[in-house]
């Protein structure tokens, strides 16, 4: 009986394993090419815009040799030449529309036409359909814009415009307004009222400009989605995550149970704080990350220690602590990075101990107690040991020994200890 | 009577002899004042002879230290005498240690020592870029 159970369970496990292996293969599709077709290709958060280097849209750009590039790439992959999206210092597009935005726009009424075949006119759905890219072939479907729309609303440069056409079954491109280089092809009417019944279509009808997809924009501004962290990375690097997105990430972080996912969320928030230049927030987030989530990244421990080292003696013990954690994982570094970082970590530790020694000495000179003297002696010993470690490493790695020697001699009181 | 006189003279001589011997036994005082680059006394500075176990703290108010004799770990005394060459290590936390070599004079041995601060410029330290938490495929 037991043997039978074992066989069954082994078979089940084997089957599940096979299914698990197969899943990524099934999931592979257009999602794998998302990075090639960025939804918000422009630096101000819009899908299309005019830059000094030319028009930028979700479709692919091409370099001087005609090789395709993602439109949000700042330099060419092959030739390293600046693309149209090169400059990140682009302000928001000016909004010249009516106050209240697109909500105030009147709904479109399709003009009734007398002599036209009526019965089989196709009608678009009430929600506007993303226009197909002219240069992307069968590109992946556009992603949820809710993540990107939340920055300050600006002029919709190339919003998809619904057009009633003489041949509804085949959308015809409409000539673009002068502001937008990329013009999505026209699509069937996106109007709730018009969608209710079949449209009469005439043989010759002037194109009617429909308002932007009002309902969709409104929903996008209120509903914040932060599930796709990769999509948030560019904004986080620029420090331009919205308050809603930050709150969404914070909420996800508190509810998430998988530690690796928590680490990823936390790193997006850390990068956003750094991009904003908010040092105190950055410190808070990094401290939480290191204390509660993950401290195996030597870069983060190193950087946090370096930040603390710019403070006073009160933060010196933190410097030593996080420098030690970074040194525990120093094997993740290689080559020159290893040499310079390990050297810097020894230096940070020595200087931190020296700060504590100075502080304890200053206290002892004003308050001659045994306790203060013991503290001073302890920190002096730490400085001496750390400086000696630093000096030994500097010698072994053929780096500058001057400062290490100065600290060592200062703490030891004699050159004999340090030169031996 | 003569015995009494002898006793008085002997007792006077015995009390007088240490007073006569004092200047030659005590050593010449040497005074060291430790200051930083801004000529401010360093309250936490210490002075030490290279062969000595103890470190002597300076006066926290004026940064001075004065002595005419030092006691070595083997129990011997090192008295400062005119003409001798004196070696002293002067240090303070956060400052570069200075080794002082001084020839003692008969009087007015006042030595000013300036300790430069140790360079703590961290602008050369490279700051790493924190990457996003991407999964790395196993090799």
Note whether A47 and A158 are within 8 A (CB).
yes
B91 in a domain, yes or no? Answer: yes
Q: Name every residue whose Cβ is closer than 8 Å to that of residue B54 and which is 6 or more positions away in sequence.
A: B48
B61 in a domain, yes or no? Answer: yes
Contacts of B46 in chain A (CB under 8 A): 413
| pLDDT value at A341 more than 50 | yes
DSSP B68: S
B133 in a domain, yes or no? Answer: no
Split into its structural domains, chain B has a count of 1
B78 in a domain, yes or no? Answer: yes
Note whether A139 and A133 are within 8 A (CB).
yes
State in Å, rounded, how far the first CA of chain B is from the last one.
114
Note whether B118 and B94 are within 8 A (CB).
yes
Q: Token digits for B90?
A: 């002067």
B6 in a domain, yes or no? Answer: no
Residue of A nearest to B56 (CA): A413
Closest CB to B44 among A233, A274, A365: A365
Contacts of B44 in chain A (CB under 8 A): 358, 361-362, 365
Contact B60 A263 (CB under 8 A): no
- Mean pLDDT for A59-65 is 78
**Which has more confidence, A2 or A358?**
A358
**Which has more confidence, B53 or A269?**
A269
The predicted structure's pLDDT at residue A261 = 92
Question: Which of A56-65, A267-276, A317-326 is predicted least confidently?
Answer: A56-65
* Per-residue pLDDT reduced to its tens digit, A191-239: 444 344 444 444 444 455 555 544 444 444 456 788 888 889 999 999 9
Closest CB to A413 among B89, B125, B135: B89
CB of A293 within 8 Å of a chain B CB? The answer is: no
Expressed as residue numbers, the domain containing B78 is 26-116
Q: Token digits for A338?
A: 């290893």
Q: Name every residue whose Cβ is closer than 8 Å to that of residue A83 and which is 6 or more positions away in sequence.
A: A53, A61, A63, A69, A71, A73, A74, A75, A76
Checking DSSP bridges between strand B109-114 and strand B30-35, what pairing results, if any? parallel
Q: Where are the alpha helices (DSSP H) in A92-199?
A: 146-149, 192-195
The predicted structure's pLDDT at residue A334 = 93
Residue A126 pLDDT grade (very low, low, confident, very high; cuts 50, 70, 90): very low
Note whether A180 and A157 are within 8 A (CB).
yes
Residue of A nearest to B128 (CA): A299
The predicted structure's pLDDT at residue A152 = 36
* Per-residue pLDDT reduced to its tens digit, B74-99: 889 999 999 999 999 999 999 999 99
Residue of B nearest to A380 (CA): B93
CB of B89 within 8 Å of a chain A CB? The answer is: yes
The predicted structure's pLDDT at residue A69 = 79
Where residue B46 sits, what CATH number does that domain have? 2.60.40.1120
Interface test with A, best of B50, B132, B134, B136 (most A CBs within 10 A): B132
CB of B136 within 8 Å of a chain A CB? The answer is: no
Alpha-carbon distance B105 to nearest alpha carbon in chain A (angstroms): 26
Note whether A162 and A124 are within 8 A (CB).
yes
Contact B92 A411 (CB under 8 A): no
Radius of gyration of chain A (CA): 31
Residue A364 pLDDT grade (very low, low, confident, very high; cuts 50, 70, 90): very high
The predicted structure's pLDDT at residue A185 = 43
Question: Which of A100-104, A140-144, A363-367, A385-389 is predicted least confidently?
Answer: A140-144
CB of A384 within 8 Å of a chain B CB? The answer is: no
* Global pTM value: 0.57
The predicted structure's pLDDT at residue A242 = 92
CB of B43 within 8 Å of a chain A CB? The answer is: yes
The predicted structure's pLDDT at residue B5 = 67
Question: Which of A10-19, A55-64, A176-185 is predicted least confidently?
Answer: A176-185
Note whether A265 and A252 are within 8 A (CB).
yes
Max CA distance (Å), chain A: 107
The predicted structure's pLDDT at residue A308 = 94
Contacts of A311 in chain B (CB under 8 A): none
B17 in a domain, yes or no? Answer: no
CB of B30 within 8 Å of a chain A CB? The answer is: no
CB of B44 within 8 Å of a chain A CB? The answer is: yes
A-B contacts at Cβ under 8 angstroms: 93
Contact B43 A306 (CB under 8 A): no
Percent of chain B residues past pLDDT 90, beyond the cut: 53
Percent of chain A residues past pLDDT 70, beyond the cut: 59
* Per-residue pLDDT reduced to its tens digit, A286-336: 999 999 999 999 999 999 999 999 888 899 999 999 999 999 999 999 999
Note whether B56 and B66 are within 8 A (CB).
no
């Amino acid at each position: 009986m037991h043997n039978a159970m074992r066989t069954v369970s082994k078979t089940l496990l084997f089957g599940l394993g096979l299914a698990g292996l197969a899943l990524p293969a099934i999931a592979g599709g257009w999602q794998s090419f998302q990075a090639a077709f960025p939804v918000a290709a422009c630096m101000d958060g819009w899908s299309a815009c005019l830059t000094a280097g030319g028009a930028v849209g979700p479709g692919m750009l091409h370099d001087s040799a005609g090789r395709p590039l993602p439109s949000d790439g700042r330099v060419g992959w092959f030739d390293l030449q600046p693309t149209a999206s090169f400059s990140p210092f682009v302000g928001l597009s000016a909004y010249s529309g009516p106050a209240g935005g697109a909500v105030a726009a009147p709904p479109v009424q399709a003009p009734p036409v007398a002599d036209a075949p009526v019965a089989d006119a196709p009608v678009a759905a009430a929600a506007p359909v993303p226009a197909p890219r002219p240069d992307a072939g069968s590109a992946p479907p556009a992603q949820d814009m809710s993540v990107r729309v939340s920055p300050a609303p600006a002029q919709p440069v190339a919003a998809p415009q619904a057009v009633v056409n003489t041949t509804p079954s085949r959308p015809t491109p409409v000539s673009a307004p002068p502001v937008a280089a990329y013009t999505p092809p026209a699509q069937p009417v996106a109007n709730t009222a018009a969608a209710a019944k079949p449209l009469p279509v005439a043989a010759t009808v002037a194109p009617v400009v429909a308002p932007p997809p009002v309902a969709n924009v409104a929903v996008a501004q209120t509903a914040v989605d932060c599930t796709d962290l990769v999509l948030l990375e560019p904004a986080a690097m620029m420090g331009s995550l919205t308050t809603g997105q930050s709150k969404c990430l914070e909420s996800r972080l508190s509810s998430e149970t998988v530690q690796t996912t928590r680490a990823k969320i936390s790193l997006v928030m850390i990068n956003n704080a750094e991009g904003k230049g908010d040092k105190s927030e950055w410190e808070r987030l990094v401290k939480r990350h290191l204390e509660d989530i993950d401290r195996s990244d030597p870069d983060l421990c190193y950087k946090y220690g370096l930040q603390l080292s710019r403070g006073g003696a009160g933060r010196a013990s933190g410097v030593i602590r996080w420098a030690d954690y970074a040194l525990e994982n120093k094997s993740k570094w290689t080559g020159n990075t290893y040499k310079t970082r390990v050297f810097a970590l020894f230096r940070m530790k020595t200087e931190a101990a020296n700060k504590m020694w100075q502080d304890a000495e200053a206290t002892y000179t004003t308050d001659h107690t045994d306790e203060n003297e013991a503290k001073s002696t302890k920190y002096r010993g730490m400085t001496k040991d750390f400086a000696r470690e630093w000096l030994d490493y500097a010698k072994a790695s053929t780096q500058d020994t001057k400062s290490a020697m100065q600290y060592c001699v200062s703490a030891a009181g004699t050159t004999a200890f340090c030169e031996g | 009577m003569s015995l009494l006189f002898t006793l008085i003279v002997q007792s006077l001589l015995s009390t007088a002899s240490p007073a006569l011997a004092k200047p030659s036994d005590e050593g010449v005082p040497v005074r060291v004042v430790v200051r930083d680059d801004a000529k401010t006394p360093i309250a936490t500075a210490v002075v030490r002879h290279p062969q000595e176990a103890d470190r002597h703290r300076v006066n926290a108010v004026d940064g001075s230290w004065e002595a005419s004799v030092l006691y070595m770990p083997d129990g011997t005394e090192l008295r400062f005498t005119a003409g001798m060459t004196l070696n002293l290590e002067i240090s303070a936390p956060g400052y570069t240690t200075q080794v002082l070599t001084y020839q003692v004079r008969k009087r007015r041995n006042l030595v000013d020592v300036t300790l430069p601060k140790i360079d703590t410029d961290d602008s050369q330290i490279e700051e790493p870029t924190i990457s996003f938490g991407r999964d790395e495929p196993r090799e």
